[in-house]
Amino acid sequence: MYGAQHLHEFGGLPAVDFQHTTDRGSRPAPDAVAWRVFVDPYGDEDRDRPWADEFADFLSAVDPAGVRALIIGQWGEAYDENSSMPINLVIAAADRLTSLEAVFVGDLEAEQAEITWIEQSDVTALLAAFPALTEFGVRGGTDLLFPPTKHERLRSLTVQAGGLPVEVVRGVLDSELPALERLDLWLGVSAYEGNTDVTDLAPLLSGTRFPRLNHLGLRNSEVQNEIAAALASAPVVAQLRVLDLSNGTLGDEGAAALLEGQPLTHLDALDLHHHFLTEAMEQRVRSVLEPHGVRVDLSERNEPWGGRGVDGRYTAVSE
């Protein structure tokens, strides 16, 4: 299995690590990059410091009024201290971060902490504190809270987890997000609290919950075939330009259900990478969709592996 990787870009900007030791004149402009603020309790002495100190240095060294995108990276031992500490510090600086449009919480890669070790908290406090946000993301499902919330401007929401609790999914789907255009949920596996059932997705699949939605990712799931079968007749598909079912356990049965359901030829892209399709089914998918201009990603074909996952199939990210 693959681990989650650091963001290379966020909010439409390249991701750059804030270094408190870097000379001020050599830093990029505040609005030119997505700033990743992180510490490393096991790294060199320049990184082995409290996240609060690193964030304070960030606010002093980079004009906070110009910052458009902020990435909260490792804030300490993420399996021991939850994300409420860095979230509260960012909220406390809301009157200084007046241009902030995008926030990501928990950009840790596998070498820092497995995705299921990242202790999260109620991340919707950030949405309440920053009404101008257009993009929000979070990694890690452990103790993650997302009670139903309201946000007028949010256009993109990403929740990455090795196991996403159904309570979080329901909170997202019960939220009032009238501007939402992109939703990306990593549902994960039951062994790590990924207990969302296809029936829990009904409000989303109906197409009435988020009327502006055009990019839907239901990814990294061990019930990928069931999701594909549900999407075959789901009204939401008609409004989509991109459908992403990657990183999960999709097999021939799920792909066949998609092809035998409603037409998908209106899509710009169908992402199925990390899958368990046979070569024959891959060819069938391509022959149906690619002549209509649909970009199909069928990279990373896998073979079932005994003793792992469901029927030997496994998600790309679970631990």
pLDDT of residue 319: 75
Other C-beta atoms within 10 Å of 295: how many? 12
- Structure confidence by residue, pLDDT tens digits, 166-178: 999 999 999 999 9
What is the predicted pLDDT for the residue at 19?
A: 87
Tell me the pLDDT tens digit for each residue of 157-216.
999 999 999 999 999 999 999 999 999 999 999 888 889 999 999 999 999 999 999 999
Which pLDDT score, from 0 to 100, does residue 48 have? 74
pLDDT value for 235: 98
Q: In what order do the strands lie in the sheet with 295-297?
A: 9-10, 13-17, 34-37, 69-72, 102-105, 135-139, 156-160, 182-188, 215-221, 242-244, 269-271, 295-297
CB 87 within 8 A of CB 105: yes
Hey, what's the torsion of the CAs at 96, 100, 106, 107, to 10 degrees? -120
Residue 224 confidence (pLDDT): 97
Alpha carbon separation from 99 to 63, 65, 204, 205 (Å, rounded): 11, 6, 31, 34
Residue of 175, 315, 142 whose CA lies nearest to 245: 315
pLDDT of res. 281: 98
pLDDT at 1: 43
pLDDT tens, residue order, the chain (319 aa): 456 789 999 999 999 999 877 766 689 999 999 999 999 887 666 667 899 999 999 999 999 999 999 999 999 987 789 999 999 999 999 999 999 999 999 999 988 888 989 999 999 999 999 999 999 999 999 999 999 999 999 999 999 999 999 999 999 999 999 999 999 999 999 888 889 999 999 999 999 999 999 999 999 999 999 999 999 999 999 999 999 999 999 999 999 999 999 999 999 999 999 999 999 999 999 999 999 999 999 999 999 886 565 688 999 998 7
